[in-house]
Amino acid sequence: MKEYERKQLLERIGREGATVGAEIPDRIEVQGEPVDLREFVFEIKRRDTVPAGERERVDQAKTNLRRERIRRKDLIEDGDISREEGERQAQAIIGIDRALNALENLGPTNLEAEIEAQETADKKRWMSFLKQALGHDQDSQGSHRSSRSP
């Protein structure tokens, strides 16, 4: 592969919008193991949240995909490969990036933290209501009463 072709491929995989319109590969080899990537991503995304038992699996998959992306990028940068092989690697990297984007944008992965945040929000709403009801919130009740006095 010529140096300018190598630079073009590296620029393409580094482009911010490279994953727009890209598809997640059906199957990809990650660290020597075949992975049904599209099926895995869709299986995880179908759920509203990632169950506690699946969190480790998703985190490990993201770590493995990042490592594989680096390995393939290094192959384009430093490897003695053909233009066609470089194209295949670039397409695979863009597919990996698409899968990583999908996995990064999942719903809450920590149910305990989500429940705690919901309880905190409920407590704040309750305290706000009590302050208003007891007249401790001057902005919401006090100013209206004084303007309506006979």
Alpha-carbon span 140 to 46, nearest angstrom: 43
Q: What is the DSSP letter of 26?
A: S
Measured CA to CA, the distance from residue 78 to residue 5 in angstroms comes to: 13
pLDDT in tens, 72-115: 999 999 878 899 999 999 999 999 999 998 888 775 545 566 67
Question: What pTM did the predictor assign?
Answer: 0.65
> 107: helix, coil or strand?
coil
Residue-wise pLDDT for 36-55, tens only, equals: 888 888 888 877 677 677 78
Mean pLDDT of the chain: 80
